[in-house]
Amino acid sequence: MNANAATPVLVAAVMALAASQSLPPSLKGTEWTRLPTRSRVVALTFDAGGNADGAASIMATLAAKRAPATFFLTGRFAEQFAATARKIAARYPVGNHTYDHPDLTGLSDAAVRSEVSRGAQAIRAATSADPRPMFRFPYGARDARTIALVNGLGYGSIRWTVDTLGWQGTSGGRSVTSVRQRVLGSLQPGEIVLMHTGSAPDGSTLDADALPGVIDAIRARGYKLTTVYAYAARYAQVADDGSSRFSASKSWHSSSWNKKRYGRGYHYASPAAVDDPASFRLTVPQAGSYRVYAWWPADAAYSAHARIAVETATGRRWVAVDERFGGGRWHLLGTFGFVPGDSALLRISRTTPARGRLIADAVRLASPPAGT
């Protein structure tokens, strides 16, 4: 497939996603060298553009220590190490690091846009994740022009507070100890740490080797770990029963009688011991936690125990709601972890111990407030 071309379906999906995701004001025309917070949090970030020699070790350490992190992938890395990229994106937020890792300040406007767009396309193809709104300039090389160009594509520049310099390797005079000392020497609220998934020219993987000690030392000093995405993301999507995001059998009937509905109408069905749910499709742009809401019109004839299945990253979770009350507003069902992709994430079941009509009206997926 031509890397510069996108299918109409992909273009439509990307445009729909862009409409519901925006940059924080503090990322427009500038960049972050630390997270915009006074909380004692640190964001570990990993650039993946050369090889994947340290990736397995890094992933194992993060999983064992239950540590969040953010990865910046090049499109070429996503193509060459697709299996690794998928594993990364299934657990952690990923950002765009261009397609081929050039110095963007030496390229034309069109070439800059091509590098960013090709990188995003390759990342989405390999991982199902949309890397917006996080972008990292190769070599940290940027200027006002290139920052404006990536802003125009829906990205903000995420720089770093400290570079561990582990990429220089042992032959460059670095060590596991020096990596840890550099991180701790710059420790501050909102610190962004730059590390790498690949090996140095001498074959050493100092960032991967130092990671267990780095995590322990950060936590020992009273800091928590977080992701860049938790602060940069402003994502929300609504799926209404009148849209293509909704599906149900003919047993679910439509109505517009109740004025507390969302949109033009809603669907309803009688309880039954059958597998016949009303489903809502939602797009998850990045792996992580999201708040899930439901909207229904209320009436005394509706169900006191409507069961909603939420398809999370760790399996199906059930939430019961009383649709007799609270109509005409969003209700928080909970905060759940999801993997990136587009699928039927919420289903209104017809199986319930309660009488009364079951209502399927609208659902909403949204990023939680920063730092939660």
User: Given 163, 196, 209, 267, which residue is catalytic?
Assistant: 196
Domains and CATH numbers, the chain: 8-232 (3.20.20.370), 236-366 (2.60.120.260)
Q: CA nearest 153: which of 98, 100, 103, 108?
A: 98
End-to-end Cα distance, the chain: 40
List per-residue pLDDT tens for the chain, 372 residues long: 333 333 333 333 433 443 356 788 999 999 999 999 999 999 999 999 999 999 999 999 999 999 999 999 999 999 999 999 999 999 999 999 999 999 999 999 999 999 999 999 999 999 999 999 999 999 999 999 999 999 999 999 999 999 999 999 999 999 999 999 999 999 999 999 999 999 999 999 999 999 999 999 999 999 999 999 999 988 999 999 999 999 999 999 999 999 999 999 999 999 999 999 999 999 999 999 999 999 999 999 999 999 999 999 999 999 999 999 999 999 999 999 999 999 999 999 999 999 999 999 999 999 988 754
- Enter the tokens of residue 52: 């994947």
Q: CA nearest 258: which of 363, 364, 359?
A: 359
d(Cα 60, Cα 40) in Å, to the nearest integer?
25
d(Cα 268, Cα 38) in Å, to the nearest integer?
47
Q: What one-character-per-residue DSSP string does 37-101 give?
A: --SSEEEEEEEESS--TTHHHHHHHHHHTT---EEEE-HHHHHHTHHHHHHHHHHS-EEE--SS-
Bridge partners, 316 (sequence order):
311
Classify strands 330-338 and 306-312 as parallel, antiparallel or unpaired: unpaired
- Reduced to 3 states (helix: H, G, I; strand: E, B; else coil), residue 310 is strand
d(Cα 6, Cα 21) in Å, to the nearest integer?
20
Q: Is 253 a catalytic residue?
A: no
Q: What is the pTM of this model?
A: 0.90
